[in-house]
């Protein structure tokens, strides 16, 4: 599959701060998905993006499909303790059907 570079690997922030994480690929993607995984649970779909330049919000979360089609970012505004978890980006390239995952961003939020 395609290599996805997700950064940062981990973040340790205070409640109320904004968070930003991103993913880049070496090839053009037609889909970007963002998932959150809590301990002992499966990944939960947060936002799905299908068009270059698309900006989509889900509550305090905002994600964008980069115009180069090789990157995406996820922002979380005014973080709260329940935002703690691992966030994965995932996407499909034009060259195949495989869903490629980033290595994840581990988010810790202190009250």
Partner 1 sequence: DTEVTQTPKHLVMGMTNKKSLKCEQHMGHRAMYWYKQKAKKPPELMFVYSYEKLSINESVPSRFSPECPNSSLLNLHLHALQPEDSALYLCASSQSSGQGGFGSPLHFGNGTRLTVT
Contact residues toward partner 1 (CB under 8 A) are 30-31, 33, 35, 40-45, 48, 50, 86, 88, 90-92, 97-99, 101-104, 106
Report d(CA 76, CA 47) in Å as an integer: 12
**Closest approach of Cβ 14 to partner 1, in Å?**
23
Residue 78 beta carbon to partner 1: minimum distance, rounded to whole angstroms = 26
Least distance (Å) from partner 1 to the CB of residue 92?
A: 4
CA distances from 23 to 14, 18, 102 (A): 23, 17, 7
Cβ nearer to partner 1, comparing 66 with 91:
91
Nearer CB in complex with partner 1: 44/108: 44
CA dist 6 → 15, 47, 92, 111 (Å):
23, 16, 15, 26
Closer CB to partner 1, 79 or 100, in the complex = 100
What span, in angstroms and rounded, lies between the C-alpha atoms of 85 and 27?
28
């Amino acid at each position: 599959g395609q290599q996805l570079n997700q950064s940062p690997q981990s973040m340790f922030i205070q409640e109320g701060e904004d968070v930003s994480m991103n993913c880049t690929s070496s090839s053009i993607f037609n889909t970007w998905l963002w998932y959150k995984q809590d301990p002992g649970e499966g990944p939960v779909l947060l936002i799905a993006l299908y068009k270059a330049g698309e900006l989509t919000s889900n509550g305090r979360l905002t994600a964008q499909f980069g115009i180069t089609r090789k990157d995406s970012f996820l922002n979380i505004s005014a973080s709260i303790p329940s935002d703690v978890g691992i966030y994965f980006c995932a996407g499909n390239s034009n060259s195949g059907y495989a869903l490629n995952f980033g290595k994840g961003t581990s988010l810790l939020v202190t009250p």
